[in-house]
């Protein structure tokens, strides 16, 4: 089924909105871009966005979605964070995501960010009782997080460009 051109433009605008979510965590992000592509592909019967292309875009989305987690953890580890501190960051990050989503209305992503940061700071300080080492570990985590934003942005732009290429040039 050929969709009207305005559907393409609405999908493209929605995906650009998703890019802003990578930079400002109160908006949808790379998963939203993937979801828009899914809806478009289903609506047009997987013609322009064929199953193989969609599978590739799904893999890119999974990589982008997970980048924030593994890159921030790698950064913290490089900064000297202990495994217990990383675990505390993960646990409080999950708790922060739930609280942010369910109660405060600020969203899961900002809640996860603040929870992970708080967990890492508390656990590092409790173990080391040394602000210099604590801040070094937290700085490594933050650098990893910021690098993950760049990776996610690159993947999001790549996904959008593939979408445009497949729909317009096919």
> Roughly what angle, to the nearest 10 degrees, separates helices 30-43 and 131-168?
20
Of 89, 110, 131, 124, the closest CA to residue 26 belongs to 110
Write b or e for each residue in 46-84: b if 16 or more Cβ atoms lie within 10 A of its Cβ, otherwise e: eebbeeebbeebeebbeebeebbbebbbbbbbebebbee
Chain-centroid distance, C-alpha 70: 11
Q: What would the two tokens of residue 90 be?
A: 């993960």
Average pLDDT, the chain: 90
The 10s digit of each residue's pLDDT in 78-104 is 999 998 998 898 899 889 888 877 876
DSSP class per residue in 81-145: --HHHHHHHHHHHHHHHHHIIIIISS-HHHHHHHHHHHHHHHHHHHHH--HHHHHHHHHHHHHHH
Q: What would the two tokens of residue 81 be?
A: 């964070």
Q: In angstroms, rounded to a whole number, what is the distance separating the alpha carbons of residues 162 and 157?
A: 9
The 10s digit of each residue's pLDDT in 108-138 is 777 888 898 999 999 999 998 999 999 999 9
pTM of the model: 0.82
Q: In angstroms, rounded to a whole number, what is the distance separating the alpha carbons of residues 65 and 59?
A: 10
Contact 97, 78 (CB under 8 A): no
The 10s digit of each residue's pLDDT in 14-64 is 999 999 888 876 667 899 999 999 999 999 999 999 999 999 999 999 999
């Amino acid at each position: 089924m050929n969709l009207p051109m305005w559907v393409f433009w609405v999908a493209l605008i929605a995906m650009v909105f998703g890019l802003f979510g990578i930079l400002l965590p109160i908006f949808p992000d790379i998963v939203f871009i993937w979801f828009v592509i899914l809806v478009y592909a289903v609506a047009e019967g997987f013609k322009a966005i064929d199953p193989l292309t969609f599978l590739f875009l799904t893999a890119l989305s999974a990589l982008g979605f997970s980048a924030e987690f593994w890159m921030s953890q790698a950064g913290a580890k490089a900064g000297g964070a202990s495994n217990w501190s990383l675990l505390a960051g993960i646990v409080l990050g999950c708790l922060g995501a739930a609280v942010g989503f369910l109660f405060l209305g600020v969203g899961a992503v900002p809640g996860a960010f603040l929870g992970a940061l708080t967990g890492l700071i508390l656990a590092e300080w409790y173990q080391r009782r040394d602000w210099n080492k604590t801040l070094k570990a937290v700085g490594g985590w933050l650098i990893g997080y910021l690098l993950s934003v760049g990776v996610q942005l690159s993947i999001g732009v790549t996904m959008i460009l593939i979408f445009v290429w497949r729909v317009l040039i096919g």
